[in-house]
Amino acid sequence: MMHIGLNFGFGKLDPEVSDHEVYRSETELAVLGEQLGYDSVWAVEHHFSDYAFCPDNLVWLSHVAARTTTIKLGTGAVILPWNTQPLRVAEKLLMVDHLSEGRVLFGMGRGLSRKEFVPFGVPLEETRDRFDESSKMIIEAIETGYIAGDGPYFAMPRTQLKPGPYAPWADRIFTVAGSHDSMMAGVNNKCRLMSFILRPVDKMMPVFQAYQDYYLEVWDEQAPPVSLNVAMYCHEDEKVAVDGMYEYVGNFFEANVAHYEMDGVHFANTKGYERYADNAALIRDKGVSQAGKDYADAALYGTPQMILDKLVWIQEQMGQFELVLQPSFGGMDHDTARRSVELFATEVMPKARQHYASQLTAAR
């Protein structure tokens, strides 16, 4: 069956909206997601600003776990260089997996924003090495119940973790990646891939194909389906949906560019982030407004039939894939997001899953 989840960003555009209201809204939508038949809920990790503020996604997911019974609980992602002790990440993953009876999906990422790295005292130039070292330690720890490290960043003796593993982690570990380097690092850890869709899928196929080819080369087996993390707005009225998406996505994209300095010139000279320099140059050439429209074109928006048509097209490009929807962003209010999530669940999800399954059967 086609996996469809929801990803929550914990951001706000209007300073008059309280931080508490953001948490109340996102949590209510997450709990509703199980009732509506979504397969998973995910939470980002971000710090220090209204762009997004979920400083510990495993804490939030443990709360959602207590209010649900079946829905999977994903970290999208734990940013490993911000967590200065891999030991603590592994301990929390194991604990929440016990509390939720094996529902955790562990997504990890490297991070990008200088605004977040500076307060943590972690130079951007060290993030690749820190990620590679800590990711291997954490994966081994949650799979075996023991953690050890040779350094240079996280040297520690072999130590038993309690609670130990609840259930096998095979097929539950993701790299949440936007760069080619991070995708390849995920393959080395035998991770599944979750990727934020910033351009139409057909434009991203060379990157996905490179990931799949490398996965086959390293592990001598086909890569699992890529999980597409994409903004979604569903409404019965086409004009309302299109106008709303361009407004919400435009707002979110501008906040995204500002937070990550995506049009900055610093990437070209920052170790491990050189590949972002080309994208930054494109944004500077196009302008933030036009680049935001391109981002909106990659989103899932429109009437239920429009979204269904786009999902059919995505399957034509990719074959198998998984879908994680961003349901609330760019100043979208709670009621608007709720109606969109409900309409997608009732009018899009059953038909999308049916078509997805039938196409896979026909391809066999």
Model confidence over 66-124: pLDDT tens digits?
A: 999 999 999 999 999 999 899 999 999 999 999 999 999 999 999 989 999 999 999 99
Would you state the pLDDT for residue 186? 94
Does the reported pTM lie above 0.85?
Answer: yes
Would you state the pLDDT for residue 284? 77
- Which residues is 193 bridged to in the sheet? 175
H or E segment and range at residue 355: helix 349-363
pLDDT band of residue 61 (cuts 50, 70, 90) is very high
Each residue of 264-287: pLDDT tens digit? 777 777 787 776 767 767 677 767
Domain boundaries, given as residue ranges, for the chain? 4-363
Is the pLDDT at 202 greater than 90? The verdict is yes
Give the CATH number of domain 4-363; options: 3.50.50.60, 3.40.50.970, 3.20.20.30, 1.10.579.10.
3.20.20.30
- CA 359 vs. chain centroid, Å, equals 26
Is the pLDDT at 293 greater than 80? The verdict is no
Would you state the pLDDT for residue 13? 94
- Which residues is 323 bridged to in the sheet? 4, 228
Residue % of the chain over a pLDDT of 70? 98
Would you state the pLDDT for residue 276? 73
Each residue of 11-43: pLDDT tens digit? 999 999 999 999 999 999 999 999 999 999 999
What DSSP assignment string belongs to 286-321? H-HHHHHHHHHHTSEEESHHHHHHHHHHHHHHHSSE
Is the pLDDT at 329 greater than 90? The verdict is yes
Token digits of residue 15: 């300073």
Would you state the pLDDT for residue 266? 79
Is the pLDDT at 288 greater than 70? The verdict is no
User: How many angstroms separate the CA atoms of 23 and 10, rounded?
Assistant: 7
The helix/strand/coil state of 52 is strand
Amino acid at 173: I
Token digits of residue 98: 């016990």
Which carries the bigger pLDDT value, residue 254 or residue 158? 158
Q: What are the strands, taking DSSP E only, across the chain?
A: 4-8, 40-43, 46-49, 52-54, 72-75, 78-79, 104-109, 146-149, 156-160, 173-176, 192-196, 226-234, 300-302, 321-326
Token digits of residue 143: 């799979």
Is the pLDDT at 261 greater than 90? The verdict is no
What residues have CB less than 8 Å from 105, skipping those under 6 apart?
Answer: 40, 42, 72, 73, 74, 75, 172, 173, 174
Rounded (5°) CA angle 25-108-197: 70
